[in-house]
Amino acid sequence: MSIGQLVETLAAEQPTAAQRAERLAADREVVRRMMGVDIPDEEFEQAPDVLGNLYKIAAEKVRAARGTAA
């Protein structure tokens, strides 16, 4: 398999911008229904990146466990 073919295969596995936007809208709608509050998209945009923060914390813990804390 050539590098070009590999890149094509990997790119085909990634969602398109339209698919990501559709999923984001659907996820936000689920949150609105579950919370029973009509949160505008602007408030979602201003919310902290909880998942990103969790990834950072997990990475720090892994580095600390390996003795390579940065």
pLDDT in the model for residue 69: 56
CA atoms within 13 A on the CB side of 69: 7
Read off the pTM.
0.57
Each residue of 19-69: pLDDT tens digit?
999 999 999 999 999 999 999 999 988 988 888 888 999 999 999 998 865
Is residue 15 a contact partner of residue 23, using CB atoms and an 8 Å limit?
yes
Alpha-carbon distance of 21 to 19, in angstroms, equals 5
φ/ψ region of 40 (left if φ > 0, alpha if ψ in -120 to 50, else beta) reads beta
Segments making up each domain of the chain, as ranges: 15-66
**CA–CA gap between residue 65 and residue 57 (Å, rounded):** 12
Which pLDDT score, from 0 to 100, does residue 17 have?
A: 92
For the cut 60, the answer to whether the pLDDT of residue 70 exceeds it is: no
